[in-house]
Amino acid sequence: MKWLTHSQTGFQQAARYLLAMRLAVVGLQLTALAVAETVVTLAHRAEALAICLLYGVLATLGWLWFTRRPPRSPASVSVGLALDLALIGAWLFLTGGYTNPLVSLLLLPIAVAIILVPLSQSIALTLSGIAIYTALVVWHSPLTHDHNHANLAQLHLVGMWATFAITAVILLLVVGALARRLRQQQEQLSSIRETRLRDEQIIALGLSAAAVAHRLGTPLNTMTLLVDEIRSAFPDPDLAEDLDMMERQLALCSKHLQQLSNAAIQAKTAQLENLPVQEWVARLRESATLLWPAAPIDWSTELPDCQVAVDATLDQAILNLLANALTASPTWVAVSVHRATSSRIEMVVEDHGDGLEDTLQETPGEQIVGSESGLGVGLFLSNATIQRLGGTLKARVDQDGTTMIIDLPEARADKTNAGGSR
């Protein structure tokens, strides 16, 4: 497989626009020759026609070259545009020189050069165009051997109008299309750059979390041993109850650290599993019950009959949102899932709190925000995880409370289940 550089891909995409410009110029030249022949007898009709045909052949060859073997540097593109100027200038020399109303066709290769090639080469091509125009003024070739000035004047005026209109159309279609494509590429690069910066932040947070999890393992093991030693040294029933509570809390901390390690491994290998929505929501409900046994979470029983691609990081993202909702609204939180479109589902988390009212944006989680009860990174990580899986996180705050909407793509049923790689 042949890999192309970014510049080669750009030149390959510009090939058809260059072909369209060149063939439009050839068509305009042939039309001008045909119209002129109906009014006057051209002095160099055969030579001008030969240059038109040569220009058309070279335009086709240039298109084949750009699409199959795109150049690695802009210098080759500049050489091709310089050849455009030379061929247009030669045709103009044989058809009246600077008095030919089609002389403004020399601007087309210069306009394309300004978009496609570096500034220094664009300046060189601009100077070349000016030099060709100057040469046409100095070395003038008559359009016809006859001297029918009335016909020539009328032909020149009509040609000026036609040249302006057609050149404007070519600039709009060719140069405008190239400019739009370049703007699209710049927007894509900007989006990729922002995503990369966000991923670097997530990686830094992940590395910090992994380091903390590793360092906490030894103190937790030490505290577990100390609980056993205290239980043996002081067989007090009242103290035993407290020690049992401490032991359960230490076991819960160890379990959370193990879940963190497993989630890191799964995220590293980018493994997803396709689950029915009912099974996924049941798993989330079980995890939430273990974390908040007395939490007033109202889980909807009406669920769509479809599948969704999930992993441990997505579960943790949903649990983070539930934790925020319970913190802001300890008396009521509702979770529902419904089908948004034929290929997407939405999970809605509602509460009666206003904890995000001061920091919520139209797309929450784009930046780390302050938090009175946590580190403020939960919403940021949740949004990043949901976006990584092709979803979006939206929010709405009104007088009734806060509503978080997790939009996720529906998984195709024919994909590999249980840990298929993305």
Ordered per-residue pLDDT tens for the chain, 422 residues: 344 454 566 677 778 788 888 998 899 889 888 887 777 777 788 888 999 999 999 999 988 887 887 777 788 888 989 999 999 999 988 888 887 888 888 888 888 888 888 888 889 999 998 899 888 888 877 766 555 555 556 556 566 766 767 777 767 776 767 677 777 767 776 776 666 666 655 555 565 666 666 677 778 888 888 888 888 888 887 788 888 888 888 888 887 777 666 665 555 555 678 889 999 999 899 888 888 888 899 999 889 989 998 877 788 788 888 988 888 888 999 999 999 888 899 999 999 876 555 444 444 544 434 444 443 456 766 777 788 788 888 888 888 888 889 999 998 765 444 444 43
327, 355 in Cβ contact below 8 A? yes
Name the 3-class secondary structure at 328. Answer: helix
Q: What local confidence, expressed as pLDDT, does residue 145 receive?
A: 58
DSSP string, 70-119: --SSHHHHHHHHHHHHHHHHHHHHHTTGGGSGGGGGGHHHHHHHHHHS-H
Domain ranges of the chain: 6-193, 270-421
DSSP 411: P
175, 22 in Cβ contact below 8 A? no
What's the rounded Cα separation, in Å, for the pair 376 and 360?
12
Q: What local confidence, expressed as pLDDT, does residue 373 receive?
A: 43
Exposure string (b/e) for 138-150, b if CB count within 10 Å is 16 or more? Answer: eeeeebbeeeeee
Q: What local confidence, expressed as pLDDT, does residue 297 receive?
A: 92
Q: Under 8 Å CB-to-CB from 155, ≥6 apart: which residues?
A: 35, 36, 39, 40
What's the rounded Cα separation, in Å, for the pair 115 and 13?
13
What does each C-alpha distance from 187 to 193, 194, 364 come to in angstroms? 10, 11, 22
324, 355 in Cβ contact below 8 A? yes
pTM of the model: 0.46
Q: What local confidence, expressed as pLDDT, does residue 290 receive?
A: 80
> How, if at all, do strands 307-310 and 401-409 pair?
unpaired
Q: What local confidence, expressed as pLDDT, does residue 86 receive?
A: 94
Q: What local confidence, expressed as pLDDT, does residue 128 receive?
A: 92
Q: What local confidence, expressed as pLDDT, does residue 155 receive?
A: 59
Q: Please, which contacts does 275-283 make with residues 24 or more away whose CB atoms are closer than 8 Å?
A: 275/307, 275/308, 275/310, 275/417, 276/305, 276/306, 276/307, 277/303, 277/304, 277/305, 277/306, 277/307, 277/308, 277/337, 277/345, 278/303, 278/305, 280/308, 280/310, 281/335, 281/337, 283/315
156, 99 in Cβ contact below 8 A? yes
What's the rounded Cα separation, in Å, for the pair 144 and 130?
25
CATH architecture of 270-421: 2-Layer Sandwich (3.30)
What's the rounded Cα separation, in Å, for the pair 251 and 338?
36
N-terminal to C-terminal alpha carbon distance within the chain: 22
Backbone torsions φ then ψ of 49, nearest 5 degrees: -65, -40
Q: Under 8 Å CB-to-CB from 22, ≥6 apart: which residues?
A: 55, 56, 58, 59, 62, 84
What does each C-alpha distance from 107 to 51, 165, 182 come to in angstroms? 19, 14, 20
Determine the residue type at 256: H
